Chain A
Amino acid sequence: MKLLRLARLICLLTILLASLSMSACHQDQPPPWQLSDISGHMPDLSFQLTDDQGKTVTAADYRGKVTLLYFGYTHCPDVCPLTLAHLHVVMQQLGKLSDGVRILFVSVDPTRDTPAVLHGYVSAFDPHAVGLTGSPSDVEALTKRYRAAFTREPGKADGSYDVSHSSGIYIFDGNGKARLLATPADTQDKLVHDLHLLLSPGDTT
Chain B
Amino acid sequence: MLCRLLFLLASGVMLAGRAQAAEADHVTASHAWIRLLPGELPASGYVALRNNGVSNAVLVGAHSKAYASVMLHQSTQDAGGMDRMTTVSRLAIPAQGEVSLAPASYHLMLEQAASPPKVGDTIDITLDFADGSHLPVAFLVRPANAADAN
CB within 8 Å of A: which of B9-43?
Answer: 35, 37-39, 41-43
Q: How far is the CB of B34 from chain A (nearest CB, A)?
A: 10
Whether A124 contacts B75 by the Cβ 8 Å rule is no
A160–B14 CA distance with the chains assembled, in angstroms = 40
Contacts of B143 in A (CB 8 A): 124
Whether B37 contacts A121 by the Cβ 8 Å rule is yes
Whether B37 contacts A74 by the Cβ 8 Å rule is yes
Residue count of chain B within 8 Å CB distance of chain A: 28
Smallest CB gap from B85: residue in A:
A162
A176–B6 CA distance with the chains assembled, in angstroms = 78
B95-107 interface mask toward A, CB cutoff 8 Å, 1 = contact, 0 = none? 0000000011001
Q: How far is the CB of B59 from chain A (nearest CB, A)?
A: 17
Smallest CB gap from B110: residue in A:
A77
Contacts of B83 in A (CB 8 A): 76, 79, 164-167
Whether B104 contacts A82 by the Cβ 8 Å rule is yes
**B44 interfacial by beta-carbon distance below 8 Å:** yes
Q: Chain A interface residue count: which class?
A: 20 to 34
Whether B81 contacts A120 by the Cβ 8 Å rule is no
A151–B81 CA distance with the chains assembled, in angstroms = 13
Whether A82 contacts B103 by the Cβ 8 Å rule is yes
Whether A184 contacts B104 by the Cβ 8 Å rule is yes
Smallest CB gap from A188: residue in B:
B147
Whether A84 contacts B145 by the Cβ 8 Å rule is yes
Whether A78 contacts B147 by the Cβ 8 Å rule is no
Contacts of A184 in B (CB 8 A): 77, 104
Q: How far is the CB of A152 from chain B (nearest CB, A)?
A: 12
Contacts of B77 in A (CB 8 A): 79, 167, 184
Whether A78 contacts B82 by the Cβ 8 Å rule is no
Whether A121 touches B147, Cβ cut-off 8 Å, given contacts A78-B75, A79-B83, A166-B81, is no
**B146 interfacial by beta-carbon distance below 8 Å:** yes
A46–B127 CA distance with the chains assembled, in angstroms = 47
**A203 interfacial by beta-carbon distance below 8 Å:** no
Contacts of B48 in A (CB 8 A): none
Of the 9-residue stretches A10-18, A85-93, A190-198, which lies at the interface with chain B?
Answer: A85-93
**Can you list 30 A-B pairs, Cβ within 8 angstroms, ordered by A?**
A74-B41, A75-B41, A75-B42, A77-B35, A78-B44, A78-B85, A79-B77, A79-B104, A81-B44, A82-B104, A85-B35, A85-B145, A88-B145, A88-B147, A117-B39, A117-B41, A124-B144, A124-B145, A149-B80, A149-B82, A151-B82, A153-B84, A162-B85, A164-B82, A164-B85, A165-B82, A165-B83, A166-B82, A166-B83, A167-B81
Ordered nearest first, which 8 A-B pairs have the shortest CB separation? A124-B144, A120-B38, A77-B44, A82-B103, A85-B147, A88-B145, A77-B42, A164-B84
With A74-B41, A77-B41 already in contact, 15 other A-B pairs whose C-beta atoms are closer than 8 Å: A75-B41, A76-B83, A78-B73, A78-B75, A79-B83, A79-B103, A81-B37, A81-B145, A86-B147, A120-B39, A121-B38, A149-B82, A153-B84, A167-B83, A184-B77
